[in-house]
Structure formats: C-alpha cells, structure tokens
Amino acid sequence: MNKDDIKVPFSIRMSRKNQDQLKAKAKRLGLSVGKLVEMRVLNDTSDEQIDYLLAQADERDHGAKIIAILGREQYGNNLNQIAKSLHCGTFTDTPDVLNKVEECSVMLAAIRHHQMKEQGLRKP
C-alpha cells in the first residue's frame, strides 16, 4: 500500500449543533462523517447532489417502513383468508364488512395513485 493511500485521522472544531447536524446527515446517507466531509470538500459534491442523495435515502426509509407495517399486519395473509372463505361460502358479508372493504379499496387506490404520480407513471 502506498503511503499516500493510508487513511490518517483528521479533526476539525465546530459547534455541537453543527456536529450533530453533520452526524445526522451522514447517518441518513449511510456514510461516515469523514466520507461525507470528503465528498463535499474534495469531490465538490453540490448541495443539489446531497439533497438528491438524502431524498433517495428518505424514500428507501419510507418504503421500508411501509413494508414493515404491511408485514406486521399480515395483510397478505388476511386477504388469502378472505379469499378462502369466499370460495368456501363461509364469508359473512354484513353491511359493516362491505363498508370496511370499500374503505380499504379507496385507500389502496389513493396509495396507488400517489405512487404512480411520484414515479412519473401514467394512470392505467
């Protein structure tokens, strides 16, 4: 390994507030503080590029939260149970149940519309 390639410690003084902001931004990007500083200072990474990376990180976090919620609630399993009871003729379709199904359908359509809009896709 070349001597110039060896990583050596480097420190800077800053307020606790700025330090906390820097650590938080690096964490959101999945980078070390040193790597973020290196990107900004040596690679001339612009504010727009950092904002783009942060938006991507936020989107990944948001998507992971949605998947976790859906997995925790076992909606897929519940839908399979409903489908099975419909096929077996054991499903009880009271007005309250039908209203809840309609509410869920409206919410799912709104989520789908939002996702397609965010991704720049046309509505089918």
Instruction: Supply the pLDDT for residue 13.
Output: 92
Helix (H, G, I), strand (E, B) or coil at 1: coil
C-alpha to C-alpha distances, 103 to 44, 76, 100, 107, 124, nearest whole angstrom: 50, 17, 5, 6, 21
In sequence order, the 6+-apart residues with CB closer than 8 A to the CB of 37 are 12, 22
Rounded to whole angstroms, the Cα distance separating 39 from 35 reads 6
Q: Return the structure tokens found at 26.
A: 């690096």
C-alpha to C-alpha distances, 85 to 81, 97, 102, nearest whole angstrom: 6, 14, 18
* Contact present, 59 and 53 (Cβ < 8 Å): no
Instruction: Supply the pLDDT for residue 100.
Output: 81
Instruction: Supply the pLDDT for residue 79.
Output: 75
Ranges of each domain in the chain = 14-58
Q: What is the mean pLDDT of each run of 10 residues along the chain (124 residues)?
A: 79 93 86 84 78 76 72 71 82 80 80 76 62
* Contact present, 101 and 94 (Cβ < 8 Å): no
DSSP 122: P
Instruction: Supply the pLDDT for residue 123.
Output: 58
